[in-house]
Structure 1
Amino acid sequence: MNLQPKEAQLQTQPVVSQKSGLYLLLKTMRPKQWTKNLIIFAGIIFARKIFTDGYLLKTLYAFLDFCILSGSVYIINDLADIEKDKAHPKKRNRPLASGQLSVPLATVFVILSTVLSLGSAFFLNINFGFVALAYFLLTLSYSFKLKNVVIIDVIVIALGFILRAAAGAVVIAADISPWLLVCTFLLALFLALTKRRHELLLLDDKARSHRKILDEYQPEMLDQMISVVTSSTVMAYSLYTFTSGHSIYLMTTIPFVVYGIFRYQYLVHQKDMGGSPEVALLKDKPLLINVLLWVVTSALILYLT
C-alpha cells in the first residue's frame, strides 16, 4: 500500500490564492484588447485641449472607464459561452472554460465592475455616461446576437469605435468632428473586414464551427469590401486634412495613413497577422513607429501652427 506523507498530499493539491484569482479575472478581461480604447484620446488631441487644465486627466479617466467596461463584457461573453469554449481547441484554456476561475467569483466581479464603471461614467460627465451605456449595450448585443448577422457584425464593431471616439469628445465637452467619426468608422471597418478574412482563410473546420458567421463570407467578397473601404478611408482622411479648418500642413500626415494601411495589408497577406490588430500594432515595429510618427507629427502641426 503506497501511502504519501500528509505534507506531500497537501503540496499536490492546487492552491488558488487571492492574487491568482485577481490575475485570472484580469486575464479574462483581455488587457491586450484595451489598446482599442486609445481612440478616446483623439478627441482631446484634435480639439487642441490637451494642455487645458483638467482635460487630460478627464480623458485618462474615460480611457480607464472604457477599459473596465469592455473587460466586463468579455467576462460576460466567456460566462455565456463557457460550454462552447470547453470544446474549442484554444478557448478551452481560458480561465473560465478551464475551471481555473470559478463562475461565482467571475459573476460577482462582473456585476461590481459593470456597476462601478457605468456609475463613475455618469459621475464624470452625464453625456459621457450615456455614451458609455450605449457602448455597453451595443457590445453586449454583439456578443449575444449581432455577431451572427452577416455584414451587421462588422458594422457593429465599427460603431463601437465611433462610440469610443465620441466618448473622448463628450467627456471634455468638445465639439464632435464629423470627419473624426467618419475616418474612425472606415478605419475600424477596414480592420474588422481584414480580421474576418484572416479567420476565414486560416481557421480549420473545427475552429470555424464555433464562429458560424464565417459561413456567410467568401474571400473574394471580403477582398472587394476591403478594397472599397481602403480607398474610402484614404479619401476621407485626405478630405479631412484639406477642409477641417486646421493647418494646411496637416496634409503632410497623409503618407503616414497610406503607409499604415498598406503595411497592415502586408501583414495580413504575407505574415498572417490579421487575426488581432492590437497584436500586430505592438509586434510590428515599422507599423508601431509609423503610428507614433503620425501622432507626433499631427500634434506638432495642430499645436504649433
Structure 2
Amino acid sequence: MTESALLEGTPQPQPGPQKIGLLRGLFWAARPRQWVKNILVVAAPAAAGELFSHHALTQVALCFVLFTACAIAVYLINDARDADADRAHPVKRHRPIAAGQVPVPVAYVVGAALAVVAPATAAVLCSPPTSALLMAYLGMQLAYCVSLKHVLVVDLVVVTTGFLMRAMIGGVALGIPLSRWFLITTGFGALFMVAAKRYSEAVQMAGKTGATRALLTEYTTGYLRFVWQLAAGVAVLAYCLWALEEGGLPPTGMLPWRQLSMVAFILAVLRYAVFADRGTAGEPEEVVLRDRPLALIGGAWLGMYALEVADW
C-alpha cells in the first residue's frame, strides 16, 4: 500500500478549532468590556470644541485604537505574570490565561508586540508627544503590575493617572492646549471613581479572606471614603470655577449653557455617590451604563456642554 493511501485512511490533525480557541481566548483576555474606558480620548478635543473636523475624528479614532492596544498589552502581561496566583482564586481562575486557553508565552509575546507596535504607530501617524504619552502609560502600568499595586496610595494615583492620560491623549495628538480646569476636573473626577471602586470592594469583601486584592486589607473603609469624598468635592469645585470664570458669559440672547451645565455635573456626582456610599460602585462601567437616572443626567450634561461649545 502506498504512503498516500495510508495517509488517506489516517485522521489528520485539525488545527482550525485550536486556533479559533486561542483567538477567542486572546479576545477575552484583552478584556473587551474595559475598552469603554478609552472613549475618554475624545474628552480634550470635545472640551475645546475641535472634535468634529475630519482630521480630528481620524486622529481621535486612531488614539482610541492605539490606547486600547496599549491597555491590552498591559492586561496580557499582567495576567501572564499572575497566572499561577489566579488559578488559586475563585473568580480569576476562569481568566483565559489562568484557565490555560492562552499559553503564558503566547500572552507575553502578543503583549510585548502590542507594547512596541502601538507607540511606534503613534509616532508615525500621530505625533512624537502622542507616542511618548503612550510609552509613559505603558511604563507606569507595567511598573504597577510588578510592584506599585502593592504600595498604599501610590496604587490609587497610578490608576487615576491612567484615566487622566486617556483624557489627555486626544488633545496631545491634535496639539490642543490642555487647560488647568480640564486637568483638575478630570484628574479628581477619576480619583473619585477609583477610590469609590476600592471602597466598594473593601465593603463587599469585609470579613472575607483570600478573595480580593491583598492591598485592600491595608486600607480602612473610613480612609477610602475620605478619599472619594475629597476627590468629588475638588472635582465639583474645579468644574464650577471653570463654568463661572470670566469670559464665560454667553452671547446676547443665548442661555448660559456653561453655567447651567454645573447643575447636571453636580447631580451626576451626587447620583454616582449614592452607589459609592452603598458600596456598589465596584464596577464603574456597570454603574454608568445601567443606571437610567445617571444616564439621563449625563445626557443632559452632554447636551448643555455641546450647546456651550457650539456657542463658541
Conserved? CA contact 1:246–1:302, under 8 Å: no
Match of 1:304 in 2: 311
Distance 1:278 1:198 in 2: 14
Matches within 5 A, 1:221-260: 221-243=223-245, 245-248=247-250, 249=256, 250-260=258-268
Give the AA of the match of 2:220. Answer: Q
Match of 1:22 in 2: 23
> Could you tell me how far 1:199 is from its partner in structure 2?
1.2
Q: Cα gap change, 1:277/1:170 in structure 2, threshold over 3 Å: closer, same or farther? A: same
Q: What are structure 1's unaligned runs of at least 5 residues?
A: 1-9
Match of 1:177 in 2: 179
Q: Cα gap change, 1:116/1:14 in structure 2, threshold over 3 Å: closer, same or farther? A: closer
Give the AA of the match of 1:257. Answer: F
Conserved? CA contact 2:63–2:170, under 8 Å: yes
> Could you tell me how far 1:18 is from its partner in structure 2?
2.5
Distance 2:284 2:219 in 1: 20
Matches within 5 A, 1:20-59: 20-59=21-60
Q: Cα gap change, 1:175/1:293 in structure 2, threshold over 3 Å: closer, same or farther? A: same
Conserved? CA contact 1:200–1:219, under 8 Å: yes
Alignment RMSD, CA only? 2.0
> Could you tell me how far 1:245 is from its partner in structure 2?
4.3
User: Cα deviations across residues 248-303 of structure 1 (Å, max 9, x unaligned)?
Assistant: 52011112211211111212334x53111112112222222322222222112111
Distance 1:17 1:257 in 2: 49
Q: Are 1:114 and 2:115 an aligned pair?
A: yes
Match of 2:6 in 1: none
- Percent identity, aligned pairs only? 30
Match of 1:95 in 2: 96
Distance 1:261 1:231 in 2: 9
Match of 2:145 in 1: 143
Distance 2:239 2:246 in 1: 10
User: Cα deviations across residues 96-151 of structure 1 (Å, max 9, x unaligned)?
Assistant: 11112222322222122222211111112111111111111111111211111111
User: Cα deviations across residues 2-23 of structure 1 (Å, max 9, x unaligned)?
Assistant: xxxxxxxx9xx99843333222
Match of 1:264 in 2: 272
Q: What are structure 2's unaligned runs of at least 5 residues?
A: 1-10, 251-255
Q: Cα gap change, 1:43/1:245 in structure 2, threshold over 3 Å: closer, same or farther? A: farther
Q: Cα gap change, 1:153/1:117 in structure 2, threshold over 3 Å: closer, same or farther? A: same
Q: Are 1:207 and 2:211 an aligned pair?
A: yes
Q: Are 1:280 and 2:281 an aligned pair?
A: no
> Could you tell me how far 1:152 is from its partner in structure 2?
1.2
Give the AA of the match of 1:74. Answer: Y
Distance 1:207 1:245 in 2: 52
Q: Are 1:133 and 2:144 an aligned pair?
A: no
Conserved? CA contact 1:274–1:280, under 8 Å: yes
How many residue pairs get aligned? The number is 291
Conserved? CA contact 2:87–2:93, under 8 Å: yes
Conserved? CA contact 2:42–2:51, under 8 Å: no
Conserved? CA contact 1:179–1:244, under 8 Å: no
Secondary structure in 2 matching 1:303: helix
Q: Cα gap change, 1:151/1:49 in structure 2, threshold over 3 Å: closer, same or farther? A: same
Give the AA of the match of 1:285. Answer: R
Per the normalisation by structure 1, the TM-score is 0.89
Q: Cα gap change, 1:14/1:88 in structure 2, threshold over 3 Å: closer, same or farther? A: farther
Distance 1:296 1:264 in 2: 19
Conserved? CA contact 1:32–1:279, under 8 Å: no
User: Cα deviations across residues 82-105 of structure 1 (Å, max 9, x unaligned)?
Assistant: 011000010000001111222232
- Higher mean alpha-carbon deviation, 145-154 vs 248-257, is at 248-257
> Could you tell me how far 1:232 is from its partner in structure 2?
1.2
> Could you tell me how far 1:167 is from its partner in structure 2?
1.0
Q: Cα gap change, 1:33/1:247 in structure 2, threshold over 3 Å: closer, same or farther? A: farther
> Could you tell me how far 1:39 is from its partner in structure 2?
1.6
Q: Cα gap change, 1:233/1:16 in structure 2, threshold over 3 Å: closer, same or farther? A: same
Query: Where do 4+ consecutive residues of structure 1 move more than 3 Å?
Result: 13-17, 244-248
Per the normalisation by structure 2, the TM-score is 0.87
> Could you tell me how far 1:224 is from its partner in structure 2?
2.0
Please tell me whether Structure 1 or Structure 2 has the larger radius of gyration of its CA atoms: 2
